[in-house]
Every structure is written in C-alpha cells, then in structure tokens.
Amino acid sequence: MLARSWKTLLSLVLMGALMAFASWELVLARKAGRLPDPPQPRTEVPPAEPQEAMRDLGLVLVPEDTPPERAKSYDWRVDGMEPARQQLAYGLGEAVERGLEQAHRDYSVRLRYRAMGPERFTYVAPPGCGTDMRCIYAELMKSNAEPVRVLGERFATSIRERDLDAAQATELILGFVRRIRYELPGDEPFGIVPPGLVPAQDRGDCDSKAVLALMLLRQVGVDAVMLYSDALAHAAIGVGLPGTGTRIPFAGRGYQYAELTAEGWPLGMIPPQYDKPQLWRVLPLPDVQG
C-alpha cells in the first residue's frame, strides 16, 4: 500500500515535471518565432521648413449663421505684397443660394430667353438695351448686390488695415477672382453665373468673373469698367490706373486691360488671341449699392 502510494506520488511528480517542461518548451517555441528588434540607430530629426507667411482675410458667410462647411476656400498670391500669400473663405446659406438662382431664372423668363445650343441663345432685350449684354449684367449686379457687398466689405477692411494703394487693392481683388475655377456655365441662362454664386460655387467663365470683379473693385474705390467683345466672344475688366500695356479708351480715359480667366496675366497684357483693341468696347454699367 505504501509502495503503491509512493509510486503514485512519484508518477505524479514526474508527470508534473513533464508538464512543466512541455509548458516551458511551448513558451520558448513561441518566443523563438520572433527575434527581438535590433537596436535602431539614433537619427537627427531634420528641422522643419519655415511656414510661409499668409494673410488670412477670414471667413465670409451670408447670412452669418450659414454653416461654415458651405464655404469655399481660396488661396492665392499677390507678387510684391507682404505677405504675398492671401487666403479667404466665402459661403452662402442654402436659401440665399437658391434665391439667387431663382431670380436669375425668373429674369430669363421675363426676357423670353431660349437656349439654341452650346453657348448660343436668344432673348428679347428690354427697350434701350441694344444687342449687347449690358442689361443682363446690370440686372445681375442689382439682384446680387447684397452678398457681393458683404464679400467686398471684407476686402475693403483688409485694404484699410494694410493701407494698400489703388494698384495693390486692384491686384488683391483680381488675384482672388482669377483663382476661382474657370468653367463654362453650360445650362445657366444667358451663359453666365450670377456674381454672388461665382465664389460660392467656385466656378465661372469670362463675363461671370468680370461682373464679380467689377463690383468688388468699384466697392473699394477703384475706377473699373466692363470690357466686352462680341466678335471675340470674350469679356474682361478695364481699370483706370497708370501703367504700361494695352489701354481701352472710354469717356476721355484709358483703361488697362485685365484678364480674369487665368492667373499670371499682368495688367495691360491681352492674351494673343484677344489682342485686337479695335474689337473691344466698354459697356457702361451703373454703380449698385447693396
């Protein structure tokens, strides 16, 4: 009885030892499956490049309680200005945006607008409007006056704070408008995006951008006119500033040509395909107060 008990005890001890050994081997095997990471050499962190200075003109929302995520952000440069990099965000509330779109469509109905294919349309011009687009532009300036005025106030404030002269103010605004994405408005009445929607939707063609630029420049006190060429199917802005380059005469003054559909064109330089001053004319448009 004692012997059997001893054997039983010995068996239990041996079994325990085997189990411990097996368990130890399992642990070793698991550890042997992954070598320890080699020591990593110490490397010096390269110094971060200095961040370019930027002038943030802020966030413009119409109305003020518009969700910020509706705003489009713009980042552009003005050579010769310190700092050169500028930034601004602009957004319209959903109801305001729909209202501007509806007003544009309603006006097209009143003038019996009819699309005739890509970039071709007809309409019945109001008395005294002639065959050009001046009445269309004037109506858009009137119906979009308030949202553009709010945007213009932000530029006017920045211009006052930095004590910019007329030439610098002009380049600041032209740079912003040029930064807006160029897009032909395929299904918009009269082939133009209303000026309040141009920065809100980040799109516009030559005259869509030109009407916006005209309103902003005039608001900050820059003498500006609308340049239009039916023969060249193009529109631009003329600014009454001293300087070299092509000037379009109007009312005893010469206006420097300002291209808006692409970045990098200096004042007074007309793209070669549009460099026919005799085909350009100034459309007299009234000042509009928001």
pLDDT at residue 4 in the model: 35
- Cβ-in-10-Å burial (0-12, 13-18, 19+) of 166 comes to middle
Tokens in use for 109?
């109905």
Kindly tell me if the per-residue pLDDT of 54 is higher than 90: yes
Between 21 and 223, the more confident residue is 223
pLDDT at residue 52 in the model: 86
Confidence band of 21 (pLDDT split at 50, 70, 90):
very low
**Cis (ω within 30 of 0) for the bond into 83?**
yes
Q: What percent of the chain has pLDDT over 70?
A: 82
Kindly tell me if the per-residue pLDDT of 194 is higher than 50: yes
Confidence band of 46 (pLDDT split at 50, 70, 90):
low
> How does 71-94 read in b/e, with b if 16+ C-beta sit within 10 Å?
bbebebbbeebeeeebebbbbbbe
Mean pLDDT on 26-34: 29
Confidence band of 288 (pLDDT split at 50, 70, 90):
confident
Domain ranges in the chain are 54-222
Average pLDDT, the chain: 86
CA–CA gap between residue 226 and residue 231 (Å, rounded): 16
Residue with structure tokens 């932000």? 154
pLDDT at residue 44 in the model: 57
The helix/strand count (H/E) of the chain reads as 7, 10
Residue with structure tokens 């071709």? 120
* Out of 38-42, 222-226, 272-276, least confident range: 38-42
CA–CA gap between residue 185 and residue 204 (Å, rounded): 7
pLDDT at residue 131 in the model: 82
Confidence band of 187 (pLDDT split at 50, 70, 90):
confident
Between 30 and 124, the more confident residue is 124
Beta partners for residue 256, in sequence order = 239, 247
pLDDT at residue 264 in the model: 86
Residue 120 is given by DSSP the state: E
pLDDT at residue 33 in the model: 30
Beta partners for residue 237, in sequence order = 226, 258
Kindly tell me if the per-residue pLDDT of 51 is higher than 70: yes
The pLDDT tens digits for 113-166 are 999 988 789 999 988 887 889 999 999 999 999 999 999 999 999 999 999 999
pLDDT at residue 9 in the model: 31
